[in-house]
């Protein structure tokens, strides 16, 4: 196996990820931390076993495409309306508060205003992986705490879509004109997706619903076709995939589609998070270590408190509000995506992108540790708290 080849790189990434993921699970940590750590250790700034990360970044983008596709599949319009009614105020108010705090912290450490705005935007989101993966299954599906968290996290995901659109509008200094064109292209893309789903995809799925291999092929082709159509219209691949997922949300085969694509999504997401770690140069982190620690501490302290206050104001019981706040008290994997994409389009400096990424990893570690120590979780340290 040739050193430096794509096959060797994938071998190194997944073996290293498996080893560190085992250590992370044993230590009751979010597994995503292991993927990023492998990137730091084995990437160009570490041991250099994966020296050229450019091809990896392109391939790993497929994972983000599938992530947005599955996100859209979970957003059935009728359920979205119910969630809007239940969690809109909490989500929007908390997002504004976290954005203001993140931007203020960035300005306090002499980041330019443009960086501060993007850093503040990245602080608006909580981790779906930590929030839901560390919640007992019974609580997730049958208790009010799970309903609250799903509502808040999905609404945050919608806010993240808006942020990605805004960032894309800044690419190449297109300014307000580019954003306006995207706002026009987006509903047109939605109409095309609805028409194709209604008069092409559904008839094909109903006709060949017994051939699962065909359905699998069809839904992947649909996702990638809409992603490329979005890019041709001046939008991003991710936005196209999201629209493709929403169009299929009411489809009878929606659950099969989601189940079929999760493993494929996870494969490419491992590559994405590895590329995030590979882009981090440990020798360059010294200058942002203090700002990242302060930003992470601010989010870890303020987020649970703000969510608790807003949920109590919404009329939730103190116990539920306190637990939901604690489970939502970290930065998100979507923040990593925002930081990476913002740096790619020139809306965020490399220093600012490294700040968001390092602060996010810090909150992953500390929040995961707190949840498995003090809250019911499938990975809880205490037998009394361990619930699946």
Helix (H) or strand (E) holding 185: helix 175-196
- Inform me whether the pLDDT recorded for 55 exceeds 90: no
Lowest mean pLDDT among 28-42, 171-185, 352-366: 171-185
For residue 385, CA distances in Å to 64, 127, 135 come to 33, 21, 11
pLDDT value for 2: 54
Report CA dihedral (35, 37, 38, 43) to the nearest 10 degrees. 120
Q: What is the pLDDT of residues 127-166, one digit of tens each?
A: 877 777 777 755 544 466 767 777 788 778 778 777 877 7
Q: Which of 89, 22, 76 is nearest to 315 (CA)?
A: 89
Report the predicted TM-score, pTM, of the whole model to 2 decimal places. Answer: 0.72
pLDDT value for 179: 55
Q: How many CA atoms lie within 13 A of 245 on its CB side?
A: 24
pLDDT value for 83: 60
Pick the CATH number of 53-374 from 3.40.50.720, 3.40.1280.10, 1.10.287.3240, 1.20.1530.20: 1.20.1530.20
Contacts of 86 (CB under 8 A, 6+ apart): 147, 148, 151
Mean pLDDT on 232-238: 75
For residue 230, CA distances in Å to 96, 120, 185, 186 come to 29, 27, 8, 8
Mean pLDDT on 216-243: 82
Q: pLDDT averaged over the chain?
A: 79
pLDDT value for 71: 72
């Amino acid at each position: 196996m040739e050193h430096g080849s794509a096959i060797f790189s994938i071998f190194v990434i997944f073996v290293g990820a498996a080893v560190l993921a085992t250590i992370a699970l044993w230590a009751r940590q979010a597994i995503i931390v292991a993927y990023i750590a492998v990137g730091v250790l084995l990437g160009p700034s570490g041991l250099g076993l994966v020296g050229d990360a450019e091809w990896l970044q392109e391939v790993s983008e497929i994972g983000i495409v599938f992530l947005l596709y599955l996100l859209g599949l979970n957003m059935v319009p009728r359920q979205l309306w119910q969630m809007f009614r239940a969690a809109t105020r909490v989500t929007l108010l908390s997002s504004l508060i976290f954005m203001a705090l993140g931007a203020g912290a960035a300005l306090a450490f002499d980041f330019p205003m443009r960086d501060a705005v993007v850093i503040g935007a990245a602080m608006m989101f909580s981790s779906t992986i930590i929030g839901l993966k560390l919640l007992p299954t019974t609580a997730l599906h049958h208790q009010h705490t799970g309903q609250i968290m799903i509502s808040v996290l999905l609404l945050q995901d919608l806010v993240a879509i808006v942020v990605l659109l805004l960032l894309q509008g800044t690419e190449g200094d297109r300014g307000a004109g580019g954003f306006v064109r995207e706002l026009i292209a987006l509903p047109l893309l939605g109409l095309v997706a609805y028409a194709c789903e209604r008069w092409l995809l559904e008839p094909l799925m109903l006709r060949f619903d017994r051939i699962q291999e065909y359905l699998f092929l069809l839904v992947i082709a649909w996702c990638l076709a809409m992603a490329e159509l979005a890019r041709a219209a001046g939008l991003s691949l991710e936005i196209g995939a999201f629209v493709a997922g929403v169009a299929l949300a009411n489809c009878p085969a929606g659950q099969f589609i989601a189940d079929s694509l999760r493993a494929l999504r996870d494969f490419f997401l491992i590559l994405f998070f590895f590329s995030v770690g590979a882009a981090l140069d440990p020798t360059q982190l010294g200058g942002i270590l203090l700002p990242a620690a302060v930003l992470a501490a601010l989010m870890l302290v303020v987020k649970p408190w703000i969510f608790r206050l807003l949920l109590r104001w919404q009329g939730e019981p103190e116990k539920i509000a306190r637990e939901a706040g604690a489970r939502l008290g970290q930065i998100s994997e979507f923040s990593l995506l925002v930081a990476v994409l913002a740096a790619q389009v020139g809306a965020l400096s490399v220093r600012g992108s490294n700040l968001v990424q390092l602060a996010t990893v810090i909150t992953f570690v500390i929040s995961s540790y707190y949840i498995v120590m003090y809250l019911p979780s499938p990975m809880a340290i205490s037998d009394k708290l361990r619930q699946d």
